[in-house]
Amino acid sequence: MTQDIALDDDREDDAYVLDRATVQAIRDAVEVGDAPGLAGLMEPLHSADIADLLEQISAGERRDLVLLYDRDFDGEILSELDEGLREEIVAYLNPQVLADAVRDLETDDVVDLLEDLDEPQQEAILEALEDSDRVAVEQSLNYPEFSAGRLMQRETMMAPEHWSVGEAIDFVRSSENLPEQFYHLILVDPRLEPIGNVTLGRIMSASRETKLADITEDSFRTFEVSEDEADVAYAFNQYHLISAPVVDENNRLVGVITIDDAMGILDEEHEEDLLRLAGVGEGRLSDRVIETTKQRFPWLAVNLVTAVLASMVISRFADTIAQFVALAVLMPIVASMGGNAGTQSLTVAVRAIATRDLTGANVWRVLRREVYVGIVNGLIFAVVMGIVGVVWFGIPMLGVVIGVAMVLNLAVAALAGVGIPVFLERMGIDPALASGAFVTTVTDIVGFFAFLGLAAIWLF
Amino acid sequence: MTQDIALDDDREDDAYVLDRATVQAIRDAVEVGDAPGLAGLMEPLHSADIADLLEQISAGERRDLVLLYDRDFDGEILSELDEGLREEIVAYLNPQVLADAVRDLETDDVVDLLEDLDEPQQEAILEALEDSDRVAVEQSLNYPEFSAGRLMQRETMMAPEHWSVGEAIDFVRSSENLPEQFYHLILVDPRLEPIGNVTLGRIMSASRETKLADITEDSFRTFEVSEDEADVAYAFNQYHLISAPVVDENNRLVGVITIDDAMGILDEEHEEDLLRLAGVGEGRLSDRVIETTKQRFPWLAVNLVTAVLASMVISRFADTIAQFVALAVLMPIVASMGGNAGTQSLTVAVRAIATRDLTGANVWRVLRREVYVGIVNGLIFAVVMGIVGVVWFGIPMLGVVIGVAMVLNLAVAALAGVGIPVFLERMGIDPALASGAFVTTVTDIVGFFAFLGLAAIWLF
């Protein structure tokens, strides 16, 4: 059956997706235990693709594959893996293979890897490292999680501010152990404070006598080690940074962050916002049923409580409904429209907070706009539903009731959709995390109360 | 009032947000028409921050600010602006200022700017460009929108494959008009096909005799001009690319894309997914009420239709409800839980499709897992609601009815949440765009039908 449906079909020309034939060939090789065949199939794959492959196959296949691949297992694959799977895979690797795999990684990748492992696994990896690397990794782990300190690489290329281009070139040419990727020399003053970036391109094209200080880049920013990685990612995107120095509390250079790492963080932050808005936890596609059930449960439990609250509102009007069942038929429409309109406002507000576009300067204007939009759309749908109500049930007053309830609920939805995330942000709570529950609670309760309450007054 | 609530308060140490005092000072300068004061306040700001500022103030303030700032208006600000605002701002600028502003931009930024302007504005800007730039821009505009061809810059640094490091260094040193940002030399064969990247760092540190071909980077990818920019952004993130050559249909080098542009696209794609999932169109925070109303209306209209469909299901059971009003009280709970569970599955599936993690290799396993999760959570909430039902209304069978309906609806929610986006993707429709409406329609209808249907059979 697996072969019958395949998202890959539409993307045969898309070189960035593991193609179906390769995946199938790899699974076949694993099934028959063909180690050389497996190695041959894996060889042309990028470690990021191998990591994706491991995430897509079942837990059993994963174990068999790792055990069969064994000696060829590369540290890069570990650092590309979803956090949730690392512990599992590391447990399969024999200690020698693990040590070899980890020794090839840059220290920032080792830090990233270690964060998600349990104590014994961490120690096994730390012991495998060379002394200097181990010290660097241990220092990085002292910085708070999700901080610039964890994200940075400690290998930096720096130059005194008074150097000329010629001195810089001689320095680079005589350096051993250059970082894998570097694009700038960081100019530092005598106290090791970074004062500017010079791109390698400018160094190569300037005359040897040119002072480095005269050809620094316009956009230059430094980050503190304790700064939140999400703020770092935002700044890279906002200011088109390629690399930026990281400084300690004394403003001294301790590392450098490059844009590829910042891009990865930006991607993770987006994922987090998207999943949190939907009430989904830290889940991975490779998680098992029991883990996924646990991740989904809390939000559903919150929703159950809010749904029961809404039901209690309805139950206050049980007599009204018993006299006129059309109310039960129509009431979900008012609540549903409010919930959708509220989610629209909420999503716009959460995104705008994430991109620093919703600030003190415009929060009142945005709130006002959303409420106006809610009222205008409310009026349109009030007319539509008023007509539907009249045509369906033949009672003009019923149309009026549903129309007025609709306008009210859409205005409240807008207010809650913007107001709640703004308030949560002020309280220091991630606005994506809990807003949804509050907003739909408000729209359900207001929707049922307004509709049934107006009906109780105006229809009898 | 504006001063009383301000998101900035929590972020006084956050250098990346325009601080409130600056924004207020700028608004004051604009109000009194103090041009030198305004220029002084704007001078230290990054063009990205000026663009953000323009997005945050009201339309009237925006016009006054641009007219007052006038001669100092920088092309960079235009390219940082939200697409929706560019047309408005360009209209305020006098032609000479506009021409000066645009001439400083790289061609890829000019292309990005022109895309969103109307015909007369486009022509005014094209005329302001130098001949060679105009030709380059016009060629880029021939590539499809959202393609690698639109995203790339045409200024490339290339070297024949047989060159040595020494030849490369001499070439760079003698080049005039180097691109603002470049990090690699692209090696090309005699047919101008790119065959590898060499980082400037390696060139600087290798001996002059080293062959460039011997020090190329491991990860090297090229993109075709027609390739979707979303795929380009995905590949940059997946493979940690810093820059990559773009080739035409004959595989010849025509441009280069750098990671900062790819990061911007990744960010836009995320925004699109997030907003589409919430049924929000292309809106901007700076849009007016009328525009926003139009953007929100379609999804609300779809939701109204689906809500009416659900109401029609309820109306089939009007007699049942009339006999037993508790059903009306409890029925929204079943629908609401289904809607939430469905949204959870849907969001996970949409994200996994976007990151190429949901493929033919694992779609059945993911679908099965989601359904199991739905059933397990359904059983838990069935027990809880069963008890609530009994305690609240004192009728054991009512507890059974709501419990069974809950399990059914959560299983269906999982099936719809994964199945619908996968199906839409296969049909070539953006799974983020329309899935939400389908999923909640399914869970509303199944929820009401299962609960009321079972009640009609078992309770009477």
Q: How far is B362 from chain A (nearest CA, A)?
A: 5
Q: B268: which chain A residues are within 8 Å (Cβ-Cβ)? A: none
Q: How far is Cα A408 from Cα B427, in angstroms, rounded to an integer? A: 39
The residue with tokens 């007054």 is A457
Angle between helix axes A431-458 and A326-354 (nearest 10 degrees) is 150
Q: How far is Cα A29 from Cα A57, in angstroms, rounded to an integer? A: 14
Contact in structure between B406 and B334 (CB atoms under 8 Å) = yes
- Confidence band, pLDDT 50/70/90 cuts, at residue A17: low
Q: Kindly identify which residue of chain A lies nearest to residue B228, measuring between CA atoms.
A: A14
Instruction: Locate B16 and state its tokens.
Output: 């990346």
Contact in structure between A281 and B377 (CB atoms under 8 Å) = no
CB contact under 8 A, A352 and B426: no
In this structure, which amino acid lies at residue A239? Y
In this structure, which amino acid lies at residue A453? G
pLDDT given for residue B17 in this prediction: 57
A153 phi/psi in degrees, rounded to 5: -100, 145
- Confidence band, pLDDT 50/70/90 cuts, at residue A115: confident
Q: How far is A422 from chain B (nearest CA, A)?
A: 8
Helices then strands, counting H and E runs in chain A, come out as 21, 6
Minimum-distance CB partner of B360 among A6, A264, A332: A6
Angle between helix axes B363-393 and B396-426 (nearest 10 degrees) is 160
Q: How far is Cα B432 from Cα B275, in angstroms, rounded to an integer? A: 9
Percent of chain A with pLDDT over 70: 96
Residue B189: name the closest of B167, B209, B210, B212 by CA.
B212
User: Which of the two residues, A8 and A348, has the higher pLDDT score?
Assistant: A348
Residue B285: name the closest of B25, B69, B59 by CA.
B59
pLDDT given for residue A5 in this prediction: 37
Using one digit for the tens of pLDDT, what is the confidence trace for A229-248?
Answer: 999 999 999 999 999 999 99
Contact in structure between B242 and B186 (CB atoms under 8 Å) = no
Q: How far is Cα A205 from Cα A200, in angstroms, rounded to an integer? A: 9
| Three-state DSSP class for residue A81 | coil
Q: Given CB atoms, is A330 within the 8 Å cutoff of chain B?
A: yes
CB contact under 8 A, A296 and B344: yes
Q: A1: which chain B residues are within 8 Å (Cβ-Cβ)? A: 364
Contact in structure between B441 and B455 (CB atoms under 8 Å) = no
Q: How far is Cα B98 from Cα B105, in angstroms, rounded to an integer? A: 11
Minimum-distance CB partner of A172 among B55, B204, B303: B204
Minimum-distance CB partner of A16 among B238, B260, B385: B238
Using one digit for the tens of pLDDT, what is the confidence trace for A167-218?
Answer: 999 999 888 778 877 889 999 999 999 999 999 999 988 999 999 999 999 8
pLDDT given for residue B239 in this prediction: 92
Q: Given CB atoms, is B296 within the 8 Å cutoff of chain A?
A: yes
A429 has a pLDDT exceeding 60: yes
Q: Given CB atoms, is B369 within the 8 Å cutoff of chain A?
A: yes
Share in percent of chain B as helix, strand, coil (round to 5): 70, 5, 25
The residue with tokens 């490091």 is B165
Contact in structure between B8 and A426 (CB atoms under 8 Å) = no
All CATH 3.10.580.10 domain ranges in chain A, comma separated: 158-277
Q: How far is A280 from chain B (nearest CA, A)?
A: 6
What residues 189-208 of chain A have any CB closer than 8 A to a CB of chain B?
199-205
Q: Kindly identify which residue of chain B lies nearest to residue A22, measuring between CA atoms.
A: B361
Contact in structure between A333 and B307 (CB atoms under 8 Å) = yes
Q: Given CB atoms, is A238 within the 8 Å cutoff of chain B?
A: yes
Runs of H (alpha helix) within B129-251: 131-142, 148-151, 165-174, 200-205, 229-239
- Those residues whose C-beta lies under 8 Å from the C-beta of residue A141, and which sit 6 or more positions away, are A111, A114, A115, A150
Q: A283: which chain B residues are within 8 Å (Cβ-Cβ)? A: 348
Contact in structure between B243 and B258 (CB atoms under 8 Å) = yes
Residue B279 backbone class (left: φ over 0; alpha: ψ -120 to 50; beta: rest): left
Minimum-distance CB partner of A289 among B307, B322, B369: B369
Per-residue tens of pLDDT for chain B, all 460 residues: 333 333 444 443 444 457 778 888 999 999 999 999 999 999 889 999 999 999 888 889 999 999 999 878 888 899 898 877 888 898 898 888 888 888 888 888 888 888 878 888 888 888 888 888 888 888 888 999 899 999 998 889 999 999 999 999 999 988 877 887 788 999 999 999 999 999 999 998 899 999 999 999 988 999 999 999 999 999 999 999 999 999 999 999 999 999 999 999 999 999 999 999 888 877 777 788 888 898 899 999 999 999 999 999 999 999 999 999 999 999 999 999 999 999 999 999 999 998 888 888 789 999 999 999 999 999 999 999 999 989 999 999 999 999 999 999 999 999 999 999 999 999 988 888 878 888 999 999 999 999 999 999 998 8
Pairing of strands B223-224, B243-247: parallel
All CATH 1.25.60.10 domain ranges in chain A, comma separated: 7-142
For residue B16, what is the enclosing H or E element?
A: none
| Integer-rounded Cα radius of gyration of chain B | 29
- Those residues whose C-beta lies under 8 Å from the C-beta of residue A276, and which sit 6 or more positions away, are A430, A432, A433
Sheet holding A243-247, edge to edge: A223-224, A243-247, A253-258
Angle between helix axes B431-458 and B326-354 (nearest 10 degrees) is 150
Strand intervals (E) in B147-265: 158-160, 184-188, 194-199, 223-224, 243-247, 253-258
Q: Kindly identify which residue of chain A lies nearest to residue B265, measuring between CA atoms.
A: A237
Runs of H (alpha helix) within B143-258: 148-151, 165-174, 200-205, 229-239
Using one digit for the tens of pLDDT, what is the confidence trace for A367-424?
Answer: 999 999 999 999 999 999 999 989 999 999 999 999 999 999 999 999 999 999 999 9
Minimum-distance CB partner of A263 among B204, B263, B321: B263
Q: Tell whether domain B7-142 is in CATH 2.40.50.40.
A: no
Q: Given CB atoms, is B59 within the 8 Å cutoff of chain A?
A: no
CB contact under 8 A, B16 and A179: no
| Three-state DSSP class for residue A211 | strand
pLDDT given for residue B2 in this prediction: 36
Distance of CA A395 to CAs A407, A459, B297, B305, B374, Å? 19, 9, 27, 21, 41
Cβ neighbours, 10 Å, residue A167: 15
What residues 378-437 of chain A have any CB closer than 8 A to a CB of chain B?
380-381, 384-385, 388, 422, 425-426, 428
Pairing of strands B253-258, B243-247: antiparallel
Total beta-carbon pairs less than 8 A apart between chain A and chain B: 417
What residues 309-328 of chain B have any CB closer than 8 A to a CB of chain A?
310-311, 314-315, 318-319, 321-322, 325-328
Contact in structure between A85 and A113 (CB atoms under 8 Å) = no
Instruction: Locate A223 and state its tokens.
Output: 């980050």
Which residues are bridge partners to B255 per DSSP?
A: B246
Q: Given CB atoms, is A209 within the 8 Å cutoff of chain B?
A: no
Distance of CA B76 to CAs A409, B81, B371, Å? 43, 9, 50
Q: How far is Cα B89 from Cα B92, in angstroms, rounded to an integer? A: 5
Q: How far is Cα B343 from Cα B256, in angstroms, rounded to an integer? A: 39
Query: Kindly report the CA angle at A277 between B282 and B51, in degrees rounded to 5?
Result: 40
Distance of CA A210 to CAs A205, A216, B28, Å? 10, 11, 43
Contact in structure between B375 and B413 (CB atoms under 8 Å) = no
Q: How far is Cα A322 from Cα A324, in angstroms, rounded to an integer? A: 6
- Mean pLDDT on A56-74: 88
For residue A192, what is the enclosing H or E element?
A: none
Strand intervals (E) in A386-441: none
Q: How far is Cα A426 from Cα B298, in angstroms, rounded to an integer? A: 32
Contact in structure between B215 and B168 (CB atoms under 8 Å) = no
All CATH 1.10.357.20 domain ranges in chain B, comma separated: 289-458
Pairing of strands A253-258, A243-247: antiparallel
CB contact under 8 A, A332 and B307: yes
B contact test, residue of A293, A305, A409, A422 with most B CBs within 10 A = A293
Domain boundaries B289-458, corresponding CATH code: 1.10.357.20
pLDDT given for residue B140 in this prediction: 87
What residues 112-151 of chain A have any CB closer than 8 A to a CB of chain B?
none
Contact in structure between B373 and B410 (CB atoms under 8 Å) = no
Q: A337: which chain B residues are within 8 Å (Cβ-Cβ)? A: 300, 303-304, 307
CA B396 to chain CA mean position, Å: 50
Q: Kindly identify which residue of chain B lies nearest to residue A349, measuring between CA atoms.
A: B285
Q: B203: which chain A residues are within 8 Å (Cβ-Cβ)? A: 204
Q: How far is Cα B417 from Cα B359, in angstroms, rounded to an integer? A: 16
- Those residues whose C-beta lies under 8 Å from the C-beta of residue A115, and which sit 6 or more positions away, are A83, A141, A145, A150
Q: B439: which chain A residues are within 8 Å (Cβ-Cβ)? A: none
Minimum-distance CB partner of A332 among B335, B359, B363: B335
CATH topology of domain B158-277: CBS-domain (3.10.580)
DSSP code of residue B222: -
